[in-house]
Amino acid sequence: MYYPEPISKLIDSFTKLPGIGPKTAVRLAFFVLNMKENDVLDFAKALVNAKRELTHCSVCGHITDQDPCQICSDHTRDDSVICVVQDPKDVIAMEKMREFNGRYHVLHGAISPMDGIGPEDINVPDLIKRLKDDKVEELILATNPNVEGEATAMYISRLVKPSGIRITRIAHGLPMGGDLEYADEVTLSKALEGRREL
Ligand SMILES: [Zn+2]
């Protein structure tokens, strides 16, 4: 089917988003054409600003517009516990629960030998550096309950164990194969409460 170039470019851009197939991309592109120009400008600005102004916290790796991030700069939080997650979205899921008052460490991925992703490719070296600080007493491994998440938890556990830091893994009850970010707050809260020693 033939589209004038500006709209075919817009369709291509939408196709790059997750969960957007060609039909939806066409529908969204035509929707944008019918939007008010100001709304389109605001939308475009929001996209660019989100990308330009957000960076990764140099301490924990969470997305932030200030460095260190709000969580790392909050002096009321408990320095003795670090919760290790795969993705910034997991931090947001944990924060929504309002039960965890420790620190976070975002790995930005999980170990996956099948995809050639090793410990050096995710934010593990920075975690090890953080643990040299003797304030940390417990590391909660809250990686996703799937093969990669388990492998990552086991790897970190073996690496950190000799240091004597208590290592726990959030409980199952989270759907196996699922993502932490999709767990509802009650399930997540129970998983945290029922964490077990590794
Ligand atoms: Zn941070």
Here the tokens at position 186 are 């009650």
- The pTM assigned to this predicted structure is 0.78
Nearby residues of 60 by Cβ (< 8 Å), 6 or more positions away: 68, 69, 71, 72, 103, 104, 105, 106
Residues whose beta carbons lie less than 5 angstroms from ion ligand 1: 57, 59-60, 62, 68-69, 72
**46 & 133 share domain:** no
pLDDT of residue 98: 87
**85 & 167 share domain:** yes
Interhelix angle 147-160/124-131, rounded to 10 degrees, is 30
pLDDT of residue 155: 95
Nearest C-alpha neighbor of 135 from the set 90, 58, 75: 75
In a domain, 196, yes or no: no
In a domain, 68, yes or no: no
**113 & 155 share domain:** yes
Which residues are registered as beta bridge partners of 51?
none
Domain count, the chain: 2
pLDDT of residue 186: 74
| Segments in the chain below pLDDT 70 | 1, 172-178, 182
**Pairing verdict, β 138-141 and 166-169:** parallel
In the reported structure, the alpha carbon of residue 69 is separated from the centroid of ligand 1 by a whole-number distance in angstroms of: 4
**Whether the Cβ atoms of residue 156 and residue 117 lie closer than 8 Å to each other:** no
Q: Is 4 exposed, middle or buried (0-12, 13-18, 19+ CB in 10 A)?
A: exposed
**34 & 88 share domain:** no
Residue 27's domain spans which residues?
Answer: 5-53
